Every structure is written in structure tokens, then in C-alpha cells.
Amino acid sequence: MSKRDLKKYLTELNKQQLEEQVLELYEKFSAVKTYYDFVFNPKEDTLLKECKIKISNEYFPQKTSGKPRKPKMRRSVAQKYIKHFILLGVDPFVIGDVMLYSVEIAQTFSAERLVKPESFFKSMLSSFEQAIKFMIANGILEEFKSRIISINDETRQQNWFNKEEFNAIIERFEY
């Protein structure tokens, strides 16, 4: 069904029928429920806190049953939250914060432990570039300037093999 067909169908329904359809969607589909729960009660601070805890647990997992857990270092966890926040329409400042936080926590981890896989560094570069592009698109780059510079400086301090690529991203956007 096209969007035009859907609009035509919806205009043919009366108010009560529309309400019934929306309620049915709310009950049947968790994505619709999540969306309406957020729209009517946008607890962005709570979402942000929960998100940051999940991301940091990827690098610094909590002990379970007295046994230390191995860090998974999955970029996908942060990406999933970012995509979810964008779909919900969360404030771009919150999304930008999460984007940079995911790189910062990875840098904190790599400062404490030796990270060998090049894929780790490449994925952090991708995250960094995605964050910069998002911030430019939303006109919020200037507000995150100090954190962006700190991330770039940290790649140099830790001597990441792709530190020049991080620097090139900043230079490309004339930062």
C-alpha cells in the first residue's frame, strides 16, 4: 500500500474507527507502543543514563557471581541505541552525546588495556566520522567541539594506528 492509498483509506474512517486502529496498533506492535510511550512521556535523561550504562558494560562489564566478565567491545550496542534514538526523535544533543560517549569509553578502555584487533580502531573511526556528520547535519557541531578535539588528542596520545585519519576528519570539516 502506498502512502497516498493509506491517506485515502484514513480519510474514509471516522474518528472512532481511527482511534480503534491506533489502539490496535499500540497493542499489537511493540515499536508503536515504544513510540507512543516516548512521545507522551519523553524521559530522555533516563534513556540516556540507561544507554550509557549498557555501552560502558561492553567495555567494563560488572562482575557476576564473583567472577570477572570478559569485555565484548561491541560497537553495535551503541549503534543500536543511536538508531533507536533517531527513530524516536530524541533531541539531537542527546544523540550526539551518545555518539561521542561510545568513542570516549572505547578510548578509556584502550588506555587501560592493550587492544590488538585493527577492526576495533576502524570501527571507532567510523563512529567518530558518523558523529561528526550527524552533528553537522543537525547544526550542533560547535557545542561538542571540546569533546571532539579531546577524542582526536587521545588517539594521538594512545598512538592509534589510524590517528591521522581521525585528524583528517576534523580538518576536512575545517574544525
pLDDT truncated to tens, each residue of the chain (175 aa)?
899 988 998 899 899 999 999 899 889 998 888 888 878 878 888 889 999 999 999 999 987 666 778 899 999 999 999 999 998 889 999 999 999 999 999 999 999 999 999 999 999 999 999 999 999 999 999 999 999 999 999 999 999 999 999 999 988 876 5
Alpha helices in the chain (DSSP H): 3-12, 15-28, 30-40, 44-59, 75-88, 92-112, 118-137, 145-157, 163-172
Q: What are 2-33's pLDDT values in tens digits?
A: 999 889 988 998 999 999 998 998 899 988 88
**What mean pLDDT value characterizes the chain?**
91
* Shared domain check, 117 and 55: yes
Residue matched to cell numbers 560517549? 101
Q: Coil, helix or strand for 171?
A: helix
* Shared domain check, 79 and 153: yes
* Shared domain check, 11 and 52: no
* Shared domain check, 86 and 52: yes
* Shared domain check, 49 and 5: no
pLDDT at 173: 72
The boundaries of the domain holding residue 25 are: 1-41
Domain count, the chain: 2
* Shared domain check, 51 and 10: no
* Shared domain check, 153 and 95: yes
pTM value is 0.82
pLDDT at 55: 96
* Shared domain check, 112 and 80: yes
* Shared domain check, 49 and 18: no
* Shared domain check, 107 and 36: no
Q: Which residues pair with 64 in a beta bridge?
A: 67
CA distance linking residue 62 with residue 112, whole number of Å:
16
pLDDT at 64: 67
Phi and psi at residue 173, to the nearest 5°:
-95, 15
* Shared domain check, 118 and 103: yes
